[in-house]
Amino acid sequence: PVDRSPEIQEARLKLPVLAEEQVIMEAVRENPCVVICGETGSGKTTQVPQFLYEAGYASGSGIIGITEPRRVAAVSMSHRVAKEMNLPTQVVSYQIRYEGNVTSDTKIKFMTDGVLLKEIQKDFLLQRYSAIIIDEAHERSVYTDILIGLLSRIVPLRNKKGMPMKLLIMSATLRVEDFTDNQKLFRTPPPVIKVDARQFPVTIHFNKRTPLEDYTGEAFHKTCKIHRMLPPGGILVFLTGQAEVHTLCRKLRNAFPFRKGNRTAAEDEELETSEGMRKFKKAKQKKTVSLPRINLDNYSALPVDEGDEDREAGIGDEEDGDSDLDLGDDTADTEEKADPSIPLYVLPLYSLLAPEQQAKVFRPSPPGTRLCVVATNVAETSLTIPGIKYVVDCGRVKKRFYDRVTGVSSFKVTWTSQASANQRAGRAGRTEPGHCYRLYSSAVFGDFSLFSEAEITRRPVEDLVLQMKDLNIEKVVNFPFPTTPSAEALVAAEQLLISLGALKEPPRAGSVKEMQRASLSSPITPLGRAMASFPVSPRYAKMLALGKQQDCLPYAIAVVAAMTVREIFEDLDRPAQNDNESTKLIQRRARLTQMRRLWAGQGASLMLGDLMVMLGAVGACEFARCTPKFCEDNGLRYKAMVEIRRLRGQLTNAVNSVCPEEGVFVDPKMNPPTEHQVVCLRQIVLAGLGDHLARRVQAEDILDPKWKNGYKTPLMDDPVFIHPNSALFKTLPEFVVYQEIMETSKMYMRGVSAVEAE
Ligand code: ADP
Ligand code: MG
């Protein structure tokens, strides 16, 4: 008995997944596990939980759980489903790392995959749930993979105990063999239900040439052309990262400014810069001048041999080619005329963007404007933006690469996969036939890999291994992974955990091979269990576990929180957008340098290096009540500071539940640590980062002038460096430990702290 509003009901009926409700629910009744595949936007995430609810899966004591790989999706989908079902958020709720609105009345619970993994540690049988939906399984996020492996064991156990539970795995692509054709995972392959998306044809246009560098500029030109030349319909641009998204948003807003009164606060702010205002005025004057017609002859139609792939993914056919787009000839004039004076309503979309800002893309754009969303990968599958008719795809994706041997991380922009490019194109055909402009040639597309690799094969796995050991899965190699991580990665993880004291040392005997084999089944230690209960990766968990000494806990918690949150300082070294910003940036940079020096302290505390700076920043920000203004003035990233604040609270709770006798609390007026405490903190940090040790290159070892001031690490031939922004850039201590090595213009250590040479 769900009481939906007529509008909602009408919108639901248009969703392809609704046509499959019977088939899905019958399959769920008859099978413990079911796989559902359907194009993004077909209604899986919003509707399937409702099907289960209406079929009574939440009417007893059990509830329905849905996992999402992204926090954005967990929060926004819970709101959407609550609204559709006309139920309060006490009933349709969400839980993410730091927050949630789950109550004892909750019947449908959206959560991140990490949250469910933690719940499995508390109750392996997940007795609160009558059904679990693993959403976005095609993303192959590490936690999703692990959850599927665990649930493949939990579901039969629940059945055996007479408390049956259902598992639904949902994917936006048809590539599900890793789950279905995997004897280790499911002995009887689960049925796969395919939801036929009502996908309108999307015409794919390849660039003849592929810009190798300035694809943001190319995206700008293409978007302008579309806006000037083509009939109404939203534009969705795919770029790779936040900075690019902002750059393009700014350029587009300047090129097609809003009329006064139509603007939102963000755009107002944008225009307040003198540059923006000048352009705005200029554009206003120009409005009557008709723009030159540009022939969009830079495109070619989809090559024949690629048609099938696209049809499979629901992208539709390529038949009508460019004809209706060839604006150079008269046929175009029969089309609804594009009006270049229409303002472009430009919105950014990326995962770190504040939820209120993200929600804007779902709302109707102001009347008389054209919507243009500039997004990263989040718009590829997790969120569906209404009204998109044109997609501009740069064909790239930003990924973190991790060198398994050296541990060096880097963010690199690489070509995406064919499957992802097709997902992106598909975003254009949700409401009517659409067009996708690929900023690369068909030959380049042909060289893309077919699919993206599962994340588990691309990153270190010590956190997973520890979580699994805590679940008493001793032989991690035998775990039913949908895709098994490499043996090297597993061995490296176990060895790190042994060195941190989280796993028992294997008996020292026999060959290296034998020892490795033995170490692959090392059981967890009591320290390891305490570490597993902290929501940070093992190195940092170790620091928390040691923090008890010398009243260091509150400091250890603050440092760990700061170290595990991405990038607490604003990037003030970025190129300025205009002269006005340039002056501002120079001033702010100077201020941040000054603050960094202040936070680094003097004498003993200076030797804690970058970590002392972080501690100082966290303390100062908390003292100033963590306001956006304080952050802005002092070069801190507001979102990061808010996250650190929440994490401090959460880590404090976690520590208290492990050692209640400590009675730690978050002190808003934390004094700087004493000299003695700093020494102690450095030891704590060393205990977690002991294998990240680097020694100053000795004078006699400088083989190349570039090696001056370099540091030598055990695993790399070439030296690494202390960044000019580091607190230790001038000190250059003999020995240091670092959080990680990032390769940018040079190999730089991040989060550097000095180690006492004994
Ligand atoms: P899938 O999970 O198959 O990708 P969803 O269930 O997420 O599909 O989306 C189904 C439809 O619901 C989409 O057309 C989308 O535009 C719409 N929708 C989802 N969230 C919202 C929202 N917050 N506001 C308005 N419409 C939404
Ligand atoms: Mg979905």
Determine which residue's CA is closest to atom 7 belonging to ligand 1.
45
**CA–CA separation, 584 and 516 (whole Å):** 56
Tell me what pLDDT residue 313 has. Answer: 25
* Probe residue for ligand 1, chosen from 79, 80, 134 as the CB with the greatest number of ligand atoms within 8 Å: 80
Q: What pLDDT, on the 0 to 100 scale, is given for residue 573?
A: 80
**pLDDT value at position 516?**
63
pTM over cut 0.80 = no
Q: Which atom of ligand 1 is nearest to the CA of 40?
A: 4
Closest approach atom of ligand 1 to CA 77: 20
Residue 747 region by backbone torsions, left for phi larger than 0, else alpha for psi between -120 and 50, else beta:
beta
The rounded distance, in Å, linking the Cα atoms of 196 and 43 is 11
Higher pLDDT, 460 or 621: 621
Ligand 1 centre to CA of 11 (Å) is 10
Distance from the CA of 336 to the center of ligand 2, in angstroms?
33
Ligand nearest to the CA of 43: 1
Is residue 547 within 8 Å of residue 655, measured between CB atoms? yes
3-class secondary structure, 745: coil
Question: Which ligand has an atom closest to residue 423 CA?
Answer: 1
Neighbours of ion ligand 2 (CB under 5 A): 44-45
Pocket test for ligand 1, best of 46, 66, 70, 174 (most atoms within 8 A of CB): 46
Predicted local distance difference test score (pLDDT) of residue 72: 79
Is the pLDDT confidence value at 301 over 70? no
- Residues contacting 173, CB < 8 A, separation 6+: 37, 138, 313, 419, 423, 451
Residues 584-611: what's their mean pLDDT?
90
Per-residue pLDDT reduced to its tens digit, 192-214:
999 987 678 899 999 998 888 89
Task: Give the pLDDT confidence of 693-745 residue by residue, as tens digits.
Answer: 999 998 888 888 888 899 999 888 889 999 999 999 999 999 999 999 988 88
Tell me which range, 44-53, 241-250, 546-555, is most confidently predicted by mean pLDDT. 44-53
Q: What is the mean pLDDT of residues 359-370?
A: 89
Confidence of residue 610 (pLDDT cuts 50, 70, 90): very high
pLDDT score of 686: 93
Average pLDDT, the chain: 84
Residue nearest to atom 13 of ligand 1 (CA): 41
Distance 60 CA to ligand 2 centre (A): 26
Residue 51 makes CB contacts below 8 A (sequence gap 6+) with 21, 24, 25
Q: Which atom of ligand 1 is nearest to the CA of 135?
A: 2
124 pLDDT above the threshold of 50 = yes
Give residue 383 CA to ligand 1 midpoint distance, Å.
7
Minimum-distance ligand 1 atom for the alpha carbon of 38: 3
Which of the ligands is closest to the CA of residue 138? 2
Assign 646 a pLDDT band (cuts: 50, 70, 90).
Answer: confident
How does pLDDT run across 63-82, given as a tens digit for each residue? 999 999 888 789 889 999 99
Show the ligand 1 pocket: residues with CB < 6 angstroms.
Answer: 15, 38, 40-47, 76, 80, 362, 384, 386
Closest ligand 1 atom, CA of 17? 3
pLDDT at 700: 85
H helices of 55-184, in order, are 71-85, 113-122, 142-160, 177-180
Strands 92-95 and 693-696: unpaired
Nearest CA to ligand 1 atom 20: 80
Quote the ligand 1 centre to 43 CA distance (angstroms).
Answer: 6
Answer yes or no: is pLDDT of 283 > 60: no
DSSP string, 149-192: HHHHHHHHHHHHTT---EEEEEESSS--HHHHS-TTT-SSPPPE
Which atom in ligand 1 lies closest to the alpha carbon of residue 39? 3
Going by pLDDT thresholds of 50, 70 and 90, the confidence category of residue 665 is confident
Cα 522 to middle of ligand 2, angstroms: 39
Specify the pLDDT at position 144.
92
Q: What are phi and psi of 107, to 5 degrees?
A: -115, -35
Ligand 1 centroid from CA 42, angstroms: 8
Residue nearest to atom 18 of ligand 1 (CA): 384
Distance (Å) from CA 38 to ligand 1 centroid: 13
* Range from 299-303, 421-425, 426-430, 518-522 carrying the lowest mean pLDDT: 299-303
Q: Specify whether the CB–CB gap between 418 and 448 falls below 8 A.
A: yes
Q: Please give the distance, rounded to the nearest whole angstrom, from the Cα atom of residue 9 to the centre of ligand 1.
A: 13
Contact 338, 228 (CB under 8 A): yes
- Specify the pairing of strand 721-722 against strand 735-737: unpaired
Residue with CA closest to ligand 1 atom 10: 43
From atom 25 of ligand 1, which residue's Cα is the shortest distance away?
A: 362
- Integer angstrom CA distances of residue 13 from 10, 148, 213: 5, 31, 45
380-425: per-residue pLDDT in tens? 877 778 899 999 999 999 887 777 666 676 778 899 999 899 989 9
Question: Does pLDDT of 48 surpass 80?
Answer: yes
pLDDT band at 358 (very low <50, low <70, confident <90, very high): confident
| Residue 382 alpha carbon, nearest atom of ligand 1 | 4
Q: Relative to the CA of 430, which ligand 1 atom is closest?
A: 14
* Distance (Å) from CA 297 to ligand 1 centroid: 35
Question: Which atom of ligand 1 is nearest to 386's Cα?
Answer: 16
Nearest CA, atom 26, ligand 1? 362
> Considering the chain, what percentage of its residues have pLDDT values greater than 70?
86
Residue nearest to atom 15 of ligand 1 (CA): 384
C-alpha dist (Å) from residue 398 to 5, 235, 516, 748, 751: 41, 21, 34, 19, 23
Averaged pLDDT for residues 310-322: 25
